[in-house]
Amino acid sequence: MYTFVNERMTFCSESASKIVARPLAKSGTAPGKVQRGVSVAFYVIAIVSLSAFAVVIHTATPAPTTRYIIVYAKQWSYSPSVITVNQGDTVYITLVSLDVSHGLYIEGYNLGTDLVLAALGSNQTTFHFVATMSGVFIFRCDIPCGFGHAFMTGVLQVDPNNDFVTAGFLAVLVALLSSAYFVMEASSTAAG
């Protein structure tokens, strides 16, 4: 096989009687070199972009912390009725009754506390837990406290820890980019 490259064309001779002319890339270099240059540039840009993305996401996700929340209970509501924490936070909830005995039970976490005024001699009690599951959870009064007891609810919103999601996303993206790089290398090696 005979190959000749000039400024604009690649001439290949598979036999003495047949000559095939192929145009070169616009830069005037052989096609394999252009593909390798593009793939390396693409790979470098992808790594820099992923690094920047990881820094932005990592700084946007706060580290787990300890949260102290006071929830005031009165017939037939909680204040605040929405509690927002991050996954991994240690949460201390102090339940304060403003009128009669109340409870606070968090569905999904299957935990809570009861505040029976006569038995405790105090109008407040505290319990704590680690917010291990992300999602939206209903909390409700679990001590009958009058006519509107069934409607005495609130919401615990546990925002996800984005570090795990980011790590998974980055791992998949790097695997895809690496695969694309090796496929491009293999095809340029086969062509050249």
Backbone angles phi, psi at 141, to 5 degrees: -75, 130
What does the pLDDT average to over 180-188?
71
Q: Is residue 144 predicted with pLDDT exceeding 70?
A: yes
Q: Are 76 and 145 in contact (CB under 8 A)?
A: yes
For residue 27, pLDDT over 60 is answered with: no
Which segments of 23-116 does DSSP mark as H helices, in order?
31-60
Specify the fold of 66-160.
Immunoglobulin-like (2.60.40)
Burial class (CB within 10 angstroms; exposed 0-12, middle 13-18, buried 19+) of 82: exposed
Give CA–CA dist 128/112, Å, rounded: 9
CA distance 146 to 140: 14
Cα separation of 34 and 14, whole Å?
Answer: 24
Domain boundaries, the chain: 2-61+164-191, 66-160
Q: pTM of the entire structure?
A: 0.57
Report the percent of the chain where pLDDT is more than 70. Answer: 55
Maximum mean pLDDT: which of 41-45, 156-160, 167-171? 156-160
Quick one: which of 116, 157, 114 has its CA closest to 133? 157
